[in-house]
Chains A and B, each alone.
Chain A
């Protein structure tokens, strides 16, 4: 009655079948390196040499232009906010527009920063649309100011240091902590790279998506590394597995979990992304779900494919482990690699 997936789980558990993450690490590292370099290179190329210019930051970060329509006549009430969107899009077709009504007879329109000429044109359009001649324009600053970024980065730094310490205490080795943090960087770089590649707007919602990935990435690492800890702790002197093989077995034993978790975490996010981006055109949903989707997939994939081999590399050099690995290989009659 065992389905193919369950049988795969059995085989992975016993080691009858395996994906060689640790043994073929050169390949996995190359994939990771290529992905990361691409993720860093894309914004550089798009931004014409300036890294930050490669991203499309929302008006929450850069500030923008604001138009205030006052004294909208009775004939235009209730206010149709769609008119304002059209008024801006007629001038700048790809601008992000946020419209809200102010009081009973006012409209507030916020959009990317416009040139003087564009501003004049939008003002005229708005006057036409709402049948009033009192439209004022001004520059608005960023709602996501430098102080928010600064505090968030500080919090991030503190978190990474504390997470390092926590994992080091829990796993009893610094090397797992460092492998986990490097793996986290890998996930974040790739997620950010996707934003540069698609040119989608980075909004506060997207940043929150990145922060979610941060938690998820480390979470997934702890789950898999905990199995590695269990398996490598069982390695005795008479074991017939090298350290790397024990790590690889642990990764494979948790592979079914990783796949299931990845699917279950990605499905709702994919639903949001699909509905948000393609069915209803809900921008905020699209912005946050892209970060989350890429993050959950990258976060799940990179634990076995990047974090685990990295940890193995860190530990294999230790004299004690190297000596035991050598003994294991000799016992098997393999020629010991220098």
Chain B
């Protein structure tokens, strides 16, 4: 019995792994329900639950119009931003030629709205002048805003505004040239208070002209040169934690930027130039939507196209900014015209009918597998039920953690996955039967069939997983939701077949009932065309073969073929019979 105990022990080990996974999933769900406000059912998508409709109108100056192209581009960027926040399957469209309508499930908070509508136009400008804003209007006692309490430690306390050069406008040679500062501009700068930036929301100037603005906290004001590097030259942006030169984490959140080749060259030029200048003209301002995020001093020339922005980010604000920068700035700014709750377009009855249909489908599959595989069919049923339980928990976790929402199409996808999952079992069972037909004993057939089936299942499921991953990474909108469903069910399927179906069969194969080859097991060797040869060994039954062989096949076998087959049979001797040797008689 020693030979038999190994598969049995392995089987129990696999099953305990599966139990471990289920316990982990249940535990995570329970923890979520207790502490993180999770529910016990997945959240539903827009079509089934409704949500919020947000209408955005572009903020335009007089006489300015928004083109269809700008609107489409905005829709695309907003969709990317929403997608980056999770798999919620929102609907975004244009309305009446100048508005954008966003329908998202649930109720968005202010931060979400901000994230959607902020144009996120980033510019890099050299600092010409920097100073504290005039105290007369920025008095903290007047308006005790939170800005007033923000510290300005990130930059050295600026000295008094350097004496402006009053020279008449010479053509400036570069972005740090003080000849940008005309007397008029100087006057404007002197009178500038940071309230103006906060009131208007964004201060703008054409890219080739200087800009007067403040930092976001309103604690420092700047006169900046023309745009040196544009946000469009950023090829990638990632949120991360700042590390020291020794590699240890400082815990400060930053946004890491990667520039494209144009941006890299421009960035290298500017930083090289700034290093040799005196304060404040050695500083470089990162301007987002007209306000300075940070204006650090350039200590070294940066030539590798990588830059890091720090400036009091939290994890969330760093990620938001990174996403905004990655997908580009909106071509126009938008304001929220209205937000309203909207009801589901499909509603509960459709979901119900989908679930009923799924249940009926499942029952029919059960009946069919019992009919086809007898008792083995119960293994299919049990496997599908375990797969269903795991899928439920995983979808629930994804829903409450990653913002995944179940749409009616998603429900249909899950129902269809029943069939795809069941196929792994069918492939496996058929392989076991093939091995039995080749005359193996049941335990051996299960092991040998498994080896072949696993290879096939893994290869085929890899193709499914590949499609899921690629669609998830490259596609947008509802296609991503589908890809997630496909990927999740594929992985669960493989887990089930390895950790449940196979071990259960190993255990069953060691029972007396199954190894007796009772017809009800669905693994009856005689019925499968093999014949009892000795203890738990079978060889192919000639009678069964003859009985099965149609006359047509007999007729087709020419004398030469028979001879060749006989020759071959003689040469290969009494090796284990393979499928190719039926003619060897």
Residues of chain A at the chain B interface (Cβ within 8 Å): 1-3, 5-7, 9-11, 13-18, 63, 66, 81, 98-103, 106, 108, 138-148, 151-152, 154-155, 158-159, 162-163, 166-167, 170, 204-205, 207-209, 211-212, 214-216, 218-220, 222-223, 226-227, 230-231, 234, 238-241, 249, 253-254, 256-257, 260-261, 263-272, 274-276, 279-280, 282, 284-285, 288-289, 292, 296, 331-334
Q: Considering the chains assembled together, what is the distance between the CA atoms of A280 and B354 in angstroms?
A: 10
Asked whether, in the complex, the Cβ of A333 is within 8 Å of the Cβ of B559, the reply is yes
Residues on the A chain within 8 Å of B455, using CB: 226
Residue in B342, B409, B437, B457 whose beta carbon sits within 8 Å of that of A205 in the complex: B409
Residue in A207, A208, A211, A234 whose beta carbon sits within 8 Å of that of B580 in the complex: A234
Closest 5 CB pairs of A and B: A268-B361, A265-B419, A2-B527, A333-B560, A141-B94
B111 within 8 A of A: no
Residues on the B chain within 8 Å of A13, using CB: 433-434, 437, 529, 579
Within 8 A of A (CB), among B342-375: 342-346, 349-350, 353-354, 356-358, 360-362, 364-365, 368-369, 372
Besides A6-B527, A15-B579, 12 other A-B contacts (C-beta < 8 A) = A15-B582, A144-B477, A204-B409, A211-B479, A220-B460, A240-B568, A267-B368, A268-B362, A271-B358, A284-B412, A332-B564, A334-B560
What are 13 A-B contacts defined by CB distance under 8 Å? A11-B549, A14-B549, A147-B79, A148-B477, A220-B460, A240-B583, A260-B372, A264-B418, A280-B353, A282-B349, A285-B354, A288-B412, A296-B419
Asked whether, in the complex, the Cβ of B578 is within 8 Å of the Cβ of A234, the reply is yes
Q: Considering the chains assembled together, what is the distance between the CA atoms of A98 and B473 in angstroms?
A: 30
B446 within 8 A of A: no
Residue in B372, B418, B475, B583 whose beta carbon sits within 8 Å of that of A155 in the complex: B475
A155-B474 in contact given A6-B528, A143-B92, A264-B423 (Cβ < 8 Å): yes
Asked whether, in the complex, the Cβ of B558 is within 8 Å of the Cβ of A102, the reply is no
Q: Considering the chains assembled together, what is the distance between the CA atoms of A16 and B368 in angstroms?
A: 26
Residues on the A chain within 8 Å of B582, using CB: 14-16
A11-B560 in contact given A101-B343, A284-B346 (Cβ < 8 Å): no
Residue in B358, B372, B486 whose beta carbon sits within 8 Å of that of A5 in the complex: B372
Q: Considering the chains assembled together, what is the distance between the CA atoms of A180 and B377 in angstroms?
A: 31
Q: Which of A17, A253, A272 has the most CB of B within 10 A?
A: A272
Asked whether, in the complex, the Cβ of B437 is within 8 Å of the Cβ of A10, the reply is yes
Q: Considering the chains assembled together, what is the distance between the CA atoms of A100 and B103 in angstroms?
A: 12
Q: Considering the chains assembled together, what is the distance between the CA atoms of A162 and B560 in angstroms?
A: 46
* Minimum Cβ distance to chain B for residue A155 (Å): 4
A219-B477 in contact given A279-B353, A284-B47 (Cβ < 8 Å): no
Q: Considering the chains assembled together, what is the distance between the CA atoms of A264 and B583 in angstroms?
A: 34
Residue in B101, B466, B478 whose beta carbon sits within 8 Å of that of A204 in the complex: B478
Residues on the A chain within 8 Å of B94, using CB: 140-141
A100-B479 in contact given A205-B412, A222-B463 (Cβ < 8 Å): no
Residues on the B chain within 8 Å of A218, using CB: 463-464, 467
B260 within 8 A of A: no
Q: Which residue on chain A has the smallest CB distance to residue B412?
A: A288
Q: Which of B101, B354, B412 has the most CB of A within 10 A?
A: B412
Asked whether, in the complex, the Cβ of B470 is within 8 Å of the Cβ of A162, the reply is yes
Asked whether, in the complex, the Cβ of A271 is within 8 Å of the Cβ of B477, the reply is no
* Minimum Cβ distance to chain B for residue A294 (Å): 13
B50 within 8 A of A: yes
B254 within 8 A of A: no
Residues on the B chain within 8 Å of A240, using CB: 561, 564-565, 568, 580, 583
Within 8 A of A (CB), among B397-454: 408-409, 412-413, 415-416, 418-420, 422-423, 426-427, 430, 433-434, 437, 452
* Minimum Cβ distance to chain A for residue B293 (Å): 29
Residue in A215, A238, A263, A268 whose beta carbon sits within 8 Å of that of B468 in the complex: A215
B76 within 8 A of A: yes
Q: Considering the chains assembled together, what is the distance between the CA atoms of A212 and B464 in angstroms?
A: 9
Residue in A17, A63, A98, A222 whose beta carbon sits within 8 Å of that of B548 in the complex: A17
Asked whether, in the complex, the Cβ of A268 is within 8 Å of the Cβ of B365, the reply is yes
Q: How many residues of B contact A (CB 8 A)?
A: 104
B459 within 8 A of A: yes
Asked whether, in the complex, the Cβ of B430 is within 8 Å of the Cβ of A256, the reply is yes
Residues on the A chain within 8 Å of B564, using CB: 240, 331-332
Asked whether, in the complex, the Cβ of B549 is within 8 Å of the Cβ of A284, the reply is no
Q: Which residue on chain A has the smallest CB distance to residue B97?
A: A139
Q: Considering the chains assembled together, what is the distance between the CA atoms of A211 and B95 in angstroms?
A: 29
Q: Considering the chains assembled together, what is the distance between the CA atoms of A264 and B473 in angstroms?
A: 30
Asked whether, in the complex, the Cβ of A103 is within 8 Å of the Cβ of B340, the reply is yes
The A-B contact count (CB < 8 A) is 325
Residues on the A chain within 8 Å of B544, using CB: 10
Asked whether, in the complex, the Cβ of A98 is within 8 Å of the Cβ of B470, the reply is no
Asked whether, in the complex, the Cβ of B561 is within 8 Å of the Cβ of A332, the reply is yes
Residues on the B chain within 8 Å of A145, using CB: 72, 75-76, 92-93
Asked whether, in the complex, the Cβ of B558 is within 8 Å of the Cβ of A332, the reply is yes
* Minimum Cβ distance to chain A for residue B353 (Å): 4
Residues on the B chain within 8 Å of A6, using CB: 527-528
Asked whether, in the complex, the Cβ of B360 is within 8 Å of the Cβ of A271, the reply is yes
Asked whether, in the complex, the Cβ of B368 is within 8 Å of the Cβ of A15, the reply is no
Q: Mark B559-576, 1 if CB is under 8 A from A, else 0.
A: 111001100100100000
Asked whether, in the complex, the Cβ of A282 is within 8 Å of the Cβ of B463, the reply is no
Asked whether, in the complex, the Cβ of A271 is within 8 Å of the Cβ of B434, the reply is no
* Minimum Cβ distance to chain A for residue B230 (Å): 22
Residue in B342, B349, B361, B471 whose beta carbon sits within 8 Å of that of A267 in the complex: B361
Residues on the B chain within 8 Å of A260, using CB: 368, 372, 426, 430
Asked whether, in the complex, the Cβ of B580 is within 8 Å of the Cβ of A147, the reply is no
Residues on the B chain within 8 Å of A15, using CB: 553, 579, 582
Asked whether, in the complex, the Cβ of A163 is within 8 Å of the Cβ of B364, the reply is no
B550 within 8 A of A: yes
Q: Considering the chains assembled together, what is the distance between the CA atoms of A285 and B353 in angstroms?
A: 9
Asked whether, in the complex, the Cβ of A215 is within 8 Å of the Cβ of B549, the reply is no
Within 8 A of A (CB), among B76-123: 76, 79, 91-97, 101
Residue in B92, B372, B580 whose beta carbon sits within 8 Å of that of A239 in the complex: B580
Residues on the B chain within 8 Å of A142, using CB: 93
Asked whether, in the complex, the Cβ of A269 is within 8 Å of the Cβ of B477, the reply is no
Asked whether, in the complex, the Cβ of B461 is within 8 Å of the Cβ of A143, the reply is no
Asked whether, in the complex, the Cβ of A226 is within 8 Å of the Cβ of B419, the reply is no
Residues on the A chain within 8 Å of B353, using CB: 275-276, 279-280, 282, 285
Residue in B97, B412, B475, B549 whose beta carbon sits within 8 Å of that of A272 in the complex: B412
Residue in A98, A140, A207, A222 whose beta carbon sits within 8 Å of that of B345 in the complex: A98
Asked whether, in the complex, the Cβ of A222 is within 8 Å of the Cβ of B456, the reply is yes
Asked whether, in the complex, the Cβ of B434 is within 8 Å of the Cβ of A222, the reply is no
Q: Which residue on chain A has the smallest CB distance to residue B528?
A: A10
Q: Considering the chains assembled together, what is the distance between the CA atoms of A255 and B244 in angstroms?
A: 63
Residues on the B chain within 8 Å of A227, using CB: 456
Q: Which residue on chain A has the smallest CB distance to residue B94?
A: A141
Asked whether, in the complex, the Cβ of A151 is within 8 Å of the Cβ of B409, the reply is no
Q: Considering the chains assembled together, what is the distance between the CA atoms of A253 and B254 in angstroms?
A: 60
B519 within 8 A of A: yes
* Minimum Cβ distance to chain A for residue B216 (Å): 31
A264-B422 in contact given A147-B476, A158-B474, A215-B468 (Cβ < 8 Å): yes
Asked whether, in the complex, the Cβ of B53 is within 8 Å of the Cβ of A108, the reply is yes
B515 within 8 A of A: no
Q: Considering the chains assembled together, what is the distance between the CA atoms of A25 and B173 in angstroms?
A: 76
Residues on the B chain within 8 Å of A2, using CB: 524, 526-528
* Minimum Cβ distance to chain B for residue A102 (Å): 5
Residue in A63, A103, A212, A289 whose beta carbon sits within 8 Å of that of B341 in the complex: A103
Q: Considering the chains assembled together, what is the distance between the CA atoms of A59 and B51 in angstroms?
A: 20
Q: Considering the chains assembled together, what is the distance between the CA atoms of A314 and B106 in angstroms?
A: 54
Residues on the B chain within 8 Å of A254, using CB: 430
Asked whether, in the complex, the Cβ of A292 is within 8 Å of the Cβ of B412, the reply is yes
Q: Considering the chains assembled together, what is the distance between the CA atoms of A282 and B409 in angstroms?
A: 12
